[in-house]
A and B are shown apart, each in its own frame.
Chain A
Amino acid sequence: MVRLLIFTFFSLWAIVSAIGVITFTNPIYVILWLLSALIAIAGIFFTAGAELVGALQLLIYAVAIAVFYVFVLTAVPWEKAVKKSSHYRTEGVLSFPLILLLYLEIAVVFLLGVTASPEGQLRGLIEKFGNTEVVGSILFSKYFFAFEVVSLVLLIGMIGAVLIGRKENQTYEDDTR
């Protein structure tokens, strides 16, 4: 009962924040709504008993990722940020079919996932060993290959970023030496 109340509270909070993200025009407010939505989702994870995922949601999404938006946006000139009209009306309309498609995909994945997931098998493990340990042991045994491939993808992304961000010594005179 208490759990349902808390879950409803966080869900409503997340939905309101998500609406805020798409209705506000000032980019700083949009980021704050996004942050609020991410924190609400972390709350939902905590309510569901998935502390590790909740804490990672806070640490990685709410802090590490959203903070980069803030970092970029604080460099946006003040006049541009408070401008009312949006540049992306046509793009918004054009993206509508894509959004429908993505929703369809989410529905399909959800339905497939419900039938495929081992019902109640993990619960016993989690109660026995705790959240973090179970996630770790599954990640490094059953899903080890997928895990390594994902980290390889991240490594490639990082190398790309370093490559783009490195100094081009040839393109300009280095007077600082």
Chain B
Amino acid sequence: MESVALNLAVAFVKILVILGIVLGVGAYLTWVERKVAAHIQRRPGPMVVGWHGLLQPLADGLKLITKEDLFPRYGNRFLYNLAIVLALVPATLVFAVIPFGPEFEVFGYKIKPILTDVNVALLLVFGLGSLAVYAVALAGWASNSKYPLIGSMRKAGIIISYEVAITFAVMGPIILAGTLSTYQIVVNQIEQKLWYVWIQPVAFVVYMFSLLAETGRVPFDIQEAEAELVTGFTVEYGGMKFGIFPLVEWYIEVLSLSAIAVVLFFGGWSPLNIPFLGFVDPLFFLGPLSPFVWFLLKVTALFLFILWLHWTLPRYRIDQITEMAWKIMLPLALANIVFTAVIAPLIWK
């Protein structure tokens, strides 16, 4: 009985820590994004509220919360609000299966920095990730307005196409690791002394394309193409209800999928890798903290890379997006699975 209570307590603390980190960091990434975008375009970005605009997210949040709650007259209020819940909950649930670092000991009690180390973690990630499509479709339909409907249909089409591509892309690393558990995948990479990106570059590229498409980042942000659709499925939302959607799509989902990419392709919390030889850790002086720092560094680098793409590229047309998914990405991912199946025994030995 005592161990059940202890387990529950540990799980509760983990949930609080993860939620705090995810939502807090998610809000502050708006500031990061605005700064990065500004510097890419050679302007200073937010500078007024706080030092270099550091308090800007708080000011934004205050403004969004105090705004009038507008609602389209012939819309469906219940579904309109339900869409927000359906957007936020699955996106945050994904963090339950992300391993932040190796197992460590506190007061003689072993703790894995992952909420639930289930056997089928990756399937859950993609199941939960694609539940987001309901939020988009419902938001578009419940608003009872033309632009949101068109935007949500586009987005739903994109998610359905790329969900297939991303699932096949991650098959490569799964075959190499021989497990679906995210924690075990990282452990296996460390044991095999190999970041899977070295022999799965194709899978990584397909994964990145799908990541951008699923989260609605440029060049795939056709569902909110400002020039044609205003902001797509969020047109009829105001205040914080509007704020939730970009927060979930652009930050929380990008974070979770980047973390999964780091787990699958960059060896999770392991330091720099020389293929088949071992790991080099320039951050050795941090001691037991170094794995966590490495994980954070990798996720940050990936996030900044996505921001860089976002603020440099123009967007694709909707037909180009779906064509690419079915005619290029899916065949590439399938060819990669065949290639992986051939070389996998060499890695396993």
Query: A residues engaging B (CB < 8 A)?
Result: 28, 32, 35, 51-52, 54-56, 58-59, 62-64, 67-68, 70-71, 73-75, 78, 130-132
Contact = CB atoms under 8 A, between A and B. Distances in A.
Given A62-B127, A70-B134, A55 B120 contact: yes
Nearest to A67: B133
Given A52-B120, A55-B123, A130-B119, A63 B133 contact: yes
9 contacts: A28-B79, A35-B134, A52-B120, A52-B123, A59-B123, A62-B131, A67-B156, A70-B156, A74-B156
B126 A74 contact: no
B118 interface: yes
B131 A63 contact: yes
Contacts of A64: 130, 160, 163
B137 A70 contact: yes
A-B residue pairs, 3 tightest by C-beta: A58-B127, A55-B123, A59-B127
Given A64-B160, A67-B137, 12 more contacts: A28-B76, A51-B119, A55-B120, A55-B123, A56-B123, A64-B130, A71-B157, A71-B160, A74-B141, A74-B149, A74-B156, A78-B144
B134 A51 contact: no
Nearest to B181: A130
Contacts of B180: 132
Nearest to B148: A74
A35 B127 CA distance: 13
B176 to A, nearest CB: 15
B153 interface: yes
A28 B79 CA distance: 9
A35 B32 CA distance: 36
Interface string B114-149: 000011100110111011011001101100100001
A67 B136 CA distance: 11
B124 A75 contact: no
Given A51-B118, A130-B119, A71 B137 contact: yes
Given A51-B118, A67-B160, A132-B180, A78 B134 contact: no
B119 A52 contact: yes
Contacts of A56: 123
A82 to B, nearest CB: 8
B285 interface: no
B153 A131 contact: no
Contacts of B141: 28, 73-74
A67 B149 contact: no
B152 interface: yes
Interface in B212-228: none
Contacts of A32: 79, 82
A55 B124 contact: yes
Contacts of A131: 119-120
A74 B130 contact: no
Interface string B68-110: 0000001010010010000000000000000000000000000
A78 B74 contact: yes
B137 A74 contact: yes
Contacts of A78: 74, 144
Given A52-B119, A71-B137, A58 B156 contact: no
Interface string B162-194: 010000000000000000100000000000000
